[in-house]
A and B are shown apart, each in its own frame.
Chain A
Amino acid sequence: MARDLVLSFETSCDETSVAVIENGNRILSNIVATQIKSHQRFGGVVPEVASRHHIEQITSCIGDALRGANVTYDELTSVAVTYGPGLVGALLIGVTAAKAVAWAHHLPLVPVNHLAGHIYAARLVEPIEFPAMALVVSGGHTELVYMPEENQFQIIGETRDDAAGEAYDKIGRVLGINYPAGKPVDELAHKGQDTFHFPRAMDADDNFDFSFSGLKSAFINTVHHADQIGEKLSHEDLAASFQQAVVDVLADKTKRALKEFPVKQLILAGGVAANQGLRDRLTKEIAGFSDTKLELVPLSLCGDNAAMIGAAGEMLYRHGVRGDATLNADPGLEFEWLVDEAK
Chain B
Amino acid sequence: MKILAINTSNQPLSVAVLDNDCLLAQTTLTTHRKHAEFLMLVIEDLVQKADLKPTDLDRVVVADGPGSYTGIRMATTAAKTIASTLGIELVTVSSLLNLALNIQEKDTLINPIFDGRNQNMFTGLYRVKDGEMQNVIADQHTNLTKWLEAVSHYDQQIIILGDTDPFEAPMREALHSRLAVANPYLGIPSATLLGQYGLDKSPVSSIDAVVPRYLRLTKAEADWKKLHPNEDTHDYVEKV
Residue A237 is within 8 A (CB to CB) of chain B in the complex: no
A96 touches B240 (CB 8 A): no
Given contacts A31-B239, A34-B240, A92-B74, contact A55 B85 (CB under 8 A): no
Cβ-defined contact, B69 with A59, below 8 A: no
In chain B, positions 25-41 with a C-beta closer than 8 Å to chain A are 34, 36-41
Least CB distance from A90 to B in Å reads 10
A38 within 8 A of B: yes
Contact code string A28-51 (vs B, CB < 8 Å = 1, else 0): 000111110110011000101101
Interface size on B, residues (CB 8 A): 40
A residues in contact with B73, CB < 8 Å: 51-52, 55, 89, 92-93
CB nearest to B69 among chain A residues: A48
B212 lies within 8 A of chain A by Cβ: yes
CB pair B236–A35 under 8 Å, yes or no, is: yes
Contact A100-B238, Cβ < 8 Å, known A52-B218, A55-B73, A59-B84: no
**CA distance in complex: A96, B35 (Å):** 10
Interface SS majority for chain B: helix
CB distance from A139 to the nearest CB of B (A): 17
Determine the chain B residues whose CB is within 8 A of the CB of A42 once the complex forms: 220, 224
Q: Which residues of B contact A93 (CB under 8 A)?
A: 73, 77
Q: Is B168 an interface residue (CB 8 A)?
A: no
Docked complex Cα distance between A60 and B81 (Å): 10
* Cα-based distance from A62 to B207 in the complex (angstroms): 12
Chain A interface size, under 10 / 10 to 19 / 20 to 34 / 35 or more: 35 or more
In the assembled complex, how far is the CB of residue A82 from the closest CB belonging to chain B, in whole angstroms?
14
A64 at the interface (CB under 8 A from B): yes
Tell me whether B239 and A101 are in contact (CB under 8 A).
no
Question: A59 to B40, Cβ gap below 8 A?
Answer: no
Q: How far is the CB of A36 from chain B (nearest CB, A)?
A: 8
Interchain CB contact under 8 A, A100 and B224:
no
Judge whether A56 and B81 touch: CB under 8 Å. no
Given A49-B220, A93-B77, A96-B81, are A37 and B239 neighbors across the interface (CB < 8 Å)?
A: no
Set of chain B residues within 8 Å of A53, measured between Cβ atoms = 236-237
Q: By the criterion CB–CB under 8 Å, are A326 and B85 in contact?
A: no
A58 at the interface (CB under 8 A from B): yes
0 or 1 for each of B198-240: is its CB under 8 Å from A? (1 = yes) = 0000000001110110100010110010000000000111111
15 CB < 8 A contacts A-B: A34-B238, A34-B240, A38-B236, A42-B220, A42-B224, A48-B218, A49-B218, A52-B211, A55-B212, A59-B207, A96-B36, A99-B40, A103-B54, A104-B86, A326-B40
Q: Which residues of B contact A (CB under 8 A)?
A: 34, 36-41, 43-44, 54-55, 69-70, 73-74, 76-78, 80-82, 84-86, 207-209, 211-212, 214, 218, 220-221, 224, 235-240
Chain A residues at the B interface, C-beta cutoff of 8 Å? 16, 31-35, 37-38, 41-42, 46, 48-49, 51-53, 55-64, 73, 89, 92-93, 95-97, 99-101, 103-106, 324-329
